Amino acid sequence: MSKHGKVLVAMSGGIDSSVTAILLKEQGYEVIGLTMKTWDYESSGSSKKETGCCSLDSINDARNIAVDLGFHHNILDIRSEFGDYVIDYFTDEYMLGRTPNPCVLCNTHIKWEALLKRADKLGCEFIATGHYANINKLNDRYYVSKGKDVNKDQSYALWGISQKNLSRTIFPLGNLEKKEIRKIALKSGYENLVKKSESYEICFVPDNNYRNFLRNRVDDIDKKVGNGNFIDEEGNIIGKHEGYPFYTIGQRKGLGIALGYPAYVTNINMKKNEVTIGSFDELKRDGMYVNKLNFMKYENINDKLNVDTKIRYNDKGNPSIIEQVDDTVKVYFGNGVSAITPGQAAVFYENNDVIGGGWIKSSFDKKEIKEYKKIKYD
């Protein structure tokens, strides 16, 4: 009989998920391992050798850890669900002129749901992952907080998890730093895990070339979209581009245009197949609209609230005031923020705690919004 009950651990074969299993077993849980097969590289059109969490080597690494530690290991094939939901979303967003964040969507709608369904079948009370984050509870509401290791914190990617799913989730690495994880792995005899390289690519775009992926995924995309115009902030045509889906807000490299100064994509107009190019200063926006919300720490926001808002994974956060209006949050930045990108996630923090988040719908300048005159920043 286990001390704390049964827990299903998501295992990728890497150091973080393996140490998660080690720690939970040491704490007295009955551990069962699960590796999810999400994608086949051959179908992406990539010539790169299959690596990362979906590769046969990684699955075998996870299984070997389970055998060494004496617990069962399962493989769950979710390629169908993953393709129908995450990859279709990824493709559709680019075709709508937005920049998707598939890893956040996968966590929320695929991996957590798949883990909990299998946990129920196996009689597991909990699921666990190797994310660098913490879970806390206030007034019967569960919420994610930043992990101790500020360089590895993954709270940004977890804002979409439901209350029900959070209540059954364990993050054993939340109060540890990466160097401590390595020490635990070495102490447990897994030097190979410490030496194993970590993948930061999107799992179904193995060479990080999303243009090739779209061309393999969307039939005749170049003919359907066609070349379009690069324009400046005044609307003047300054060059030709390959088609709006192949560009993202804030992009500087690979534009194929020389203007005599560092140039960035500042706007994408899908309907006109136009891509606006400007200077770094012209990337700045004063606020944004965020929808498809999920709140954690509070059920709703009833008044204006001072928070830090992150608009991308490696963003340190920006002081802001948020205001909920029906199913949308208006975000006001005091000093403006560069490269606010529709399609990316926006996550709202109160100190280290995730209040909630949503998807960026659009950005605005303060001259466009009357409410800006009423906003006072602390």
Q: Cβ neighbours of residue 193 under 8 Å, at least 6 residues apart?
A: 14, 15, 18, 19, 185
Model confidence at 58, pLDDT cuts 50, 70, 90, reads: confident
pLDDT for residue 55: 67
Q: Show the tokens assigned to 114.
A: 């798949």
pLDDT for residue 69: 92
pLDDT for residue 200: 61
Cross-strand bridge partners of residue 34: 10, 74
Q: Are strands 328-338 and 284-295 parallel, antiparallel or unpaired?
A: antiparallel
Residues 255 and 113 in one domain: no
What 8-state DSSP symbol labels residue 281?
G
Residue with tokens 């956040």: 104
pLDDT for residue 46: 47
Residue-averaged pLDDT of the chain: 89
Residues 331 and 271 in one domain: no
Residues 38 and 116 in one domain: yes
Q: Is the pLDDT of residue 362 over 60?
A: yes
Residues 305 and 336 in one domain: yes
Q: Is the pLDDT of residue 218 over 60?
A: yes
Q: Is the pLDDT of residue 141 over 70?
A: yes
Residues 79 and 178 in one domain: yes
Residue 16 lies inside a defined structural domain of this protein: yes
Separate counts of helices (H) and strands (E) for the chain: 11, 17
Considering Cα of 106, then 204, then 121, then 66, what sign does the dihedral take?
negative
pLDDT for residue 78: 86
Cα separation, 301 vs 151, in Å, equals 29
Average of per-residue pLDDT across 22-30: 96
Q: Which residue has the higher pLDDT, 203 or 141?
A: 141
Using one digit for the tens of pLDDT, what is the confidence trace for 267-298? 999 999 999 999 999 999 999 999 999 999 99
Residue 147 lies inside a defined structural domain of this protein: no
Residues 243 and 256 in one domain: yes
Residue 240 lies inside a defined structural domain of this protein: yes
Cα separation, 123 vs 321, in Å, equals 44
Catalytic positions: 106, 203
Number of domains present in the structure of the chain: 3
pLDDT for residue 201: 64
Q: What domain range includes position 302?
A: 284-374
Q: Is the pLDDT of residue 86 over 50?
A: yes
Q: Is the pLDDT of residue 250 over 80?
A: yes
Model confidence at 310, pLDDT cuts 50, 70, 90, reads: very high
Considering Cα of 152, then 153, then 158, then 164, what sign does the dihedral take?
positive
Helix (H) or strand (E) holding 143: strand 141-146
Residue 220 CB neighbours (<10 A): 8
